[in-house]
Amino acid sequence: MHTFLTRDIPGIGGIFKETAEDFRVTEIPLYEPCGDGEHTYAVIEKSGITTLEAVRRIARTVGVGERDVGYAGMKDARGITRQTISLPRVAPEQLLRSELPGIKIVSAVRHKNKLKLGHLRGNRFRIRIGGVDGDAGTRAAAVLAVLEKRGVPNFFGEQRYGAQGNSHLIGGAMLRGDYGGAINALIGEPDRVTDERWRLAIEAFKAGDLEKSLGVFPPHCRTARELLQKLVRLPDAPEKAFRAVHPRLRKLYLSAFQSELFDRVLAERLDSLDRVFDGDVAYKHDNGACFLVTDAAAEAPRASLFEISATGPMFGCRMKEPEGEPLVRERRLLEAEGLTLQSFALDGGLRMEGERRPLRVPVKEIGIETDGSGLVLEFSLPKGSYATTVLREVMKPS
């Protein structure tokens, strides 16, 4: 994806995430704990581990089941991140005394209910970009002023598509019932990896030597190894072999495909990001409700005030469709993939209902400061959107 909303403003270039300190994320809670109840809400600060790994370590330390631990959102392993988790029947004092590698318990307060996924308002970011020149602050400020007025393009971006950038290809093949294609996409392409053994394993697979490929694949490529083990036994039954892939991963691949289709729709609408058209399904930023736009001219003031925004499709079998030209565009995209909305009505727990996602999101609490040869950006975004979308506009990577 090489289009930018702020393409008239030169990017600052540079690099980020040189150290954990360069990328700080703080969750903005939807509500504060009340101080009473059987659950304890703990604000944790972690570095170098994922949310799920933090949950595993804390649950094991205090003696509760991992499934009983609640959290509002997933946070990256890279950088320093603060988020809230909930634990049942654990005293705040016990948590505050706990010593956990890579995790600091910042606070612990009782509350009545388990924290649920999505129960957050958004995230606040503090990001240092290194290796920039003297006028980077001026250019970054110009970009952020446009994003503050028009909105941040709500792309998922490359981080959604896995280490080889192939997760959406796997999901698309699954939806078309092409499990041979899904396996090929999962194994990937040799020129997308730098590990020598991994590259040789992919080349052996492409040459049709499954046993050699299995023997060479590095241990960390667990999913590919488990898939190949089954495929060696069932070379003519790719759908059965693909069942070796964990259901959670299969769902992730399907979700990545949904995301990639959304990103394509957004790329087409980039220049009219802050407008709504007749037939659009619009999103209300104050409560998340959606409605059909029947008079675009009448809704234009609300769009300019950032009260509403046009949405794009997270395709699914029960997704609300637009009308008119927006519907034509979305159906054309699905048809080019050989799919309909009913294609997403999968069984085996993989059914995808679908939803609408706003094409833009507001960026708030903007701050810019220089730091030697670097630039520090601060901003907040609503839940479900990514800091990389802001960085992409500011840095304009090639």
- Strand (E) or helix (H) holding 251: helix 247-269
- Centre a 10 Å sphere on the Cβ of residue 18 and count the other Cβ atoms it contains: 13
Tokens at 109, concatenated: 């307060």
DSSP 36-98: -SSEEEEEEEEESS-HHHHHHHHHHHHT--GGG-EES----SSSEEEEEEEEET--HHHHHH-
Task: For residue 86, list its beta bridge partners.
Answer: 41, 70
In terms of Cβ atoms closer than 10 Å to its own Cβ (0-12, 13-18, 19+), residue 205 is buried
Task: For residue 120, list its beta bridge partners.
Answer: 29
Distance CA 362, CA 364 (A): 6
Nearest residue to 314 via CA among 271, 362, 256: 256
Residue 292, classed as helix, strand or coil, is strand
Catalytic residues: 76
DSSP 173-212: HHHTT-HHHHHHHHH--GGG---HHHHHHHHHHHTT-HHH
Nearest residue to 362 via CA among 311, 307, 287: 307
CB distance 55 to 85 below 8 Å: yes
